[in-house]
Structure 1
Amino acid sequence: MARVERVLHLISGLGQGGAEAALERLLHSARAQSPEIAQEVLSLGGLGPVGERLRAAGFAVQALGLSGRRPLRLLGLWRWLRAHRQGALLQTWMYHADLLGALLARPAGIRRLVWNVRQTGLGVADIRPGTRLVVRLCAWLSGRPSAIVTNAHSAIAVHVAQGYRAARFHWIPNGFDTQTFRPDAEARQTLRREWRVTDGELLVGLVARLDPQKDHANFLQAAARLHQAWPAARFVLVGSGIPQDAALGVAIERLKLPVLRLDNRADIPAILSALDLFCLSSRAEGFPNVLGEAMACACACVSTRCGDADQLLPPECLVPPQDPEALAQALLRWAQAGPQARQRLGERLRAEVTERFPQQAVWPRYLALYESL
């Protein structure tokens, strides 16, 4: 086994997102379980809220501020890798970081490179043309990393179809902190009072940044059908870009829906506890973080069959993607089932995520892979 003295994490950015949250959780677990291994982070973009939290927690975090106007800062990336190469393994996160890691790791003197692939949506409507080009380049260079970690079984076939080398893939699912994400009756009552949602009303929510893959249009169309059949239903959308998006506001007005729109929040466990139903409406995901978090909060969940959602939820909670009628019918069934049935489902989902996807199991799997290279 090859000893790992230092792990360098290169990530495209440190804003709020699934990959960034997974990195943050992994770093805390690594420090707790392997404090002798140095962990350092470099963001290709800005510091972001995740970077700020990591710095405040004492992690070494730098931001390169790379953009189309500042390509020469790539020299700064090479210098950073070169300066930290002793005993190092380079773990990259997301496509742009994967590509740069493939190009710069060996010239900087780093022999062990691991990529991280965390999504399944590679269509024209899912990612930008520039990112699709990066994916194609990564497929061509996929023999360079020693391994490719993915958190989603479903991502392997998608990327192999793009030309990625199948033998490089290793599945390490997300883990969840079930102490932070847990049912909170007091927070539930506080938020519902603040939002003026009564005990007799059904609160359905989605926590997701505004992104084509999250398919907020699917959520709204399903919500409109549900509200017609169940007038006591109310809705909340939480995520980056949600309150500011004019088109989203127009759609809500046109459908005459009672929707509360909120930006990024620090109290996501409380929000999930306040819901009666969590609804994931995405057309593409990897291993959906927020779905596991909602389950950990013992919230009844309905989701499209996106990414590895079927690894998390039972069949009665899953519907096809981009089918608002099916999504509305699933939500209506759980609305009609009543609060006790939803509570039993929530308790079952929390037990499932606690047993199968504990956060403390993730870092040992990464470390075992690292030491095998």
Structure 2
Amino acid sequence: MLTKLVKNNLSRDVEMIIITFLYSTYFNKEIEDAGIKIHTLNINKGMLGPLKLFKIFRIIIDEKPVIIQTWMYHADFLGVILKLLFPSIKVIWNIRHSNLVKGIDKKTTIILANILGKLSFIPDKIICGSNAAYSSHREIGYRRNKLIVIPNGFDTNLFAPSKKVKKSVVNELSIPEGNLIIGHIGRENKIKNQDSIIDAFSKISEQNKNLNLILIGKGLKNKYKNHPLITENIIILDEVNGVERYLKSFDLFILSSFSEGFPNVLGEAMASEVPCISTNVGDSSIIIGKKELLIRDFSAYAIYEKIDYWLSLNEIQKEKLKKYSRTRILDFFSIEKIVMSYLEVYKSFEINK
């Protein structure tokens, strides 16, 4: 989201400069290509020593920022130090995490988040990337009067329908012409609940032979290579370049997770005119906006029911649902609208001087 924010900032009144702990070939180049100044500290894991801290202080003194916005817990903790050293500068924390789950999240992450909850009187604002993040961080002591929610935004030019691209992917994957494609994108992880999708598809495809399931995500191919329910109608791909191409090929998207914050993939799919069914986790219901598309529980049968509901729609109803999906993202979650929300927060500090 940070990269999207700085790339889509068209305000002449707000200049953005990035300080990043680690060098990322992809993201650094993307930011630099957008003409944004970026300072890279090249900090080794867990090694924010005195020299690196001094370099940060030097950058702040030279750049003279009005606002410092920190992203993620470790940077938020650094924001506490910066606020104490530079009290006239406004400090905004940005929380990207939703629920903190023991056994899944690192102990150190959970401890740090709880410490920050006790220190949350220090920043001037705390922006949560989802309503789920807002609620979970309120529960661990983050100050209510500091918290606001600004969801993620989506590039509706990149994520947009294309019959040409759809046809290209269908040919590439040797999918029979006229088949309906059900898709899922997510890394291999128990929390993503892909087993239930496969079980549900196996059942629904017994009555509907013109269906294909595409699963895309790191580790999926290896995990399911010997799965007894994998048939020729199920295509499994590991991480792919240009995931937006494959989204454009889907007719329906399934999110089956046990837990999520603000699942970006739903917004990306819907912007691509792909209707989504989802378990009622995190901000899924807010993104989708239709109760009838929410899966009632995490079981394979509940997923089967929603696929069956979608299949029962006639062609006009399916087309309306496609148009609705993209329109909802354009109306509420386009990157232009979300960037404006950030800019309004920044400018509010000037008004409240």
TM-score normalised according to structure 1 size: 0.83
Match of 1:197 in 2: 175
1:131 deviates by: 1.4
1:233 deviates by: 2.9
Report whether the alignment pairs 1:114 with 2:88: no
CA distance in 2, matches of 1:46, 1:108: 26
102-111 or 38-47, which deviates more: 102-111
Match of 2:301 in 1: 325
Report whether the alignment pairs 1:155 with 2:133: yes
Report whether the alignment pairs 1:260 with 2:236: yes
1:226 deviates by: 3.5
Match of 1:37 in 2: 14
CA distance in 2, matches of 1:286, 1:186: 33
Say whether the 8 Å CA contact 2:83–2:123 is kept in structure 1: no
Say whether the 8 Å CA contact 2:183–2:214 is kept in structure 1: yes
C-alpha change, 1:225 and 1:100, in structure 2 (3 Å) is farther
1:211 deviates by: 4.7
C-alpha change, 1:97 and 1:220, in structure 2 (3 Å) is farther
| Cα distance per residue 1:45-65 (max 9 Å; x no partner) | 331522332223322234434
Say whether the 8 Å CA contact 1:305–1:318 is kept in structure 2: yes
C-alpha change, 1:112 and 1:225, in structure 2 (3 Å) is farther
Say whether the 8 Å CA contact 1:82–1:108 is kept in structure 2: no
Report whether the alignment pairs 1:300 with 2:275: yes
C-alpha change, 1:71 and 1:92, in structure 2 (3 Å) is closer
Say whether the 8 Å CA contact 1:282–1:321 is kept in structure 2: no
Structure 1 portions without partners, runs of 5+: 1-21
Match of 1:59 in 2: 36
Report whether the alignment pairs 1:216 with 2:224: no
Question: Quick one: which amino acid aligns to residue 23 of structure 1?
Answer: L
Report whether the alignment pairs 1:127 with 2:105: yes
Say whether the 8 Å CA contact 2:83–2:122 is kept in structure 1: no
| Cα distance per residue 1:3-49 (max 9 Å; x no partner) | xxxxxxxxxxxxxxxxxxx212211221x2x1343212233233152
Report whether the alignment pairs 1:360 with 2:336: yes
1:213 deviates by: 4.2
CA distance in 2, matches of 1:46, 1:176: 24
CA distance in 1, matches of 2:54, 2:275: 47
Question: Quick one: which amino acid aligns to residue 184 of structure 2?
Answer: L
Match of 1:16 in 2: none
SS of the residue 2:160 aligns to: coil
| Cα distance per residue 1:220-259 (max 9 Å; x no partner) | 44344444454443222334x235x63x235x62332423
C-alpha change, 1:148 and 1:359, in structure 2 (3 Å) is same
CA distance in 2, matches of 1:65, 1:179: 33
40-49 or 271-280, which deviates more: 40-49
Match of 1:9 in 2: none
CA distance in 2, matches of 1:102, 1:221: 48
C-alpha change, 1:352 and 1:114, in structure 2 (3 Å) is same
Q: Rg larger in 1 or in 2?
A: 2
Say whether the 8 Å CA contact 1:125–1:212 is kept in structure 2: no
Which of 306, 310, 321 does residue 345 from structure 1 map onto?
321
SS of the residue 2:84 aligns to: coil
Structure 2 portions without partners, runs of 5+: none
Which of 276, 284, 291 does residue 309 from structure 1 map onto?
284
CA distance in 2, matches of 1:217, 1:71: 41
SS of the residue 2:16 aligns to: strand
Overall identity of the aligned pairs, in %: 26
Match of 1:369 in 2: 345
CA distance in 1, matches of 2:45, 2:275: 43
CA distance in 2, matches of 1:64, 1:227: 52
CA distance in 2, matches of 1:103, 1:230: 60
Match of 2:5 in 1: 26
Instruction: Kindly tell me the number of residue pairs found equivalent between the two proteins.
Output: 344
C-alpha change, 1:61 and 1:350, in structure 2 (3 Å) is same
